[in-house]
Amino acid sequence: MGYKVAIVGATGEVGRTFLKVLEERDFPVDELVLFASERSEGKRLSFKGKEYEVKALNKQTSFRGIDIALFSAGGSISKEYAPKFARDGVVVVDNSSAWRMDPEVPLIVPEVNPEDIYMFKNKRIIANPNCSTIQMVVALKPIYDYAGINRVVVATYQSVSGAGAKAIRELEEQTKAWCEGRPIPEPKYIAKQIAFNAVPHIDVFMENDYTREELKMLNETRKIMHDENIKVSATAVRVPVFYSHSEAVHIETKREISPEKAREVLSKAPGVVVIDDPSKSEYPLAIDAQGRDEVFVGRIRKDLAFEPGLAMWVVADNIRKGAATNTVQIAELLVKEGLV
């Protein structure tokens, strides 16, 4: 059985990756409809050897007959259009932050909380978590199930692709200018110069001086893990890397878990690849994760501040597992459970 699938925001970085992931995973697409802004209308994108014309998203458009819509067009578009799709009988899987904390909308990472898929029926909308949250909870879940977790302190090292294609070009232009001895252009899409720099400022600052990106990691983790008692303190940093986010994660567990046991449970966990042999300088790198769908974990060791506790290094491709792949996995879960 095939499905009529729509992609909203099809011409963006994540939208194009939706197409790639759907094809790679052989998702049962019977019909495909591509939507984007009016300026992208008429562009053609390829899927399984066939070209499809991009349509402008229109308030008067009927979405009846579409089974699943994958959204990656920003929160304002999602807030306006996701309910319209839902009213026409479509199940929406949304990649923006618009619906993540809505109590009637499930926030799903299939390796962590697949059972929440049934919650979508009230609004017919499912939210994809923030990219930095996704990779962290995939790595935390096996530890949580074995030893429990009281608190997490995490520092992220996030690639510029997380800020979109314009931020990628900004890093390219700044780097080229530096190499050529020219003045570095003023930043437009990242708060400060990103070339040869690290910027501890992603999204806006809130009243408590944490950024919204950092608070997402607290609030989304609690919702996904169904545990309001987990404490998460995050510092989110943009670094001059094109793709893949890295995270230094420090965990206070409820019960003792040795690094050896942590490697064992992580190695058996779905979606996790352990690369951890310091004696051979083997640990996950952002460039190794690029283009991959797994979450890579290494540098697993006893934490020296938390007792009991663990420290580890977590890496994943933010455009794939952190966005497109996780969204497609949610659609696969809908199909598997017979919910579309």
Identity of the residue numbered 165: A
Is 245 within 8 Å of 206 (Cβ atoms)? no
**Any idea what DSSP says for residue 308?**
S
State how far the Cα of 175 lies from the Cα of 171, in Å rounded to an integer.
6
Q: Which residues are catalytic?
A: 131, 245
Can you count the helices (H) and strands (E) in the chain?
8, 13
State how far the Cα of 251 lies from the Cα of 140, in Å rounded to an integer.
9
List, in sequence order, every beta strand (DSSP E) within 9-43.
29-36
Q: Is the dihedral of CA 151, 155, 161, 163 positive or negative?
A: positive
* Calculated CA dihedral for residues 281, 287, 291, 296, nearest 10 degrees: 40
C-alpha distances out from residue 203 to 73, 137, 153, 191, 221, Å? 17, 21, 19, 9, 18
**Any idea what DSSP says for residue 182?**
P
Identify any residues that bridge with 334 across adjacent strands, giving them in sequence order: none
State how far the Cα of 20 lies from the Cα of 17, in Å rounded to an integer.
5
Q: How many CA atoms lie within 13 A of 105 on its CB side?
A: 25
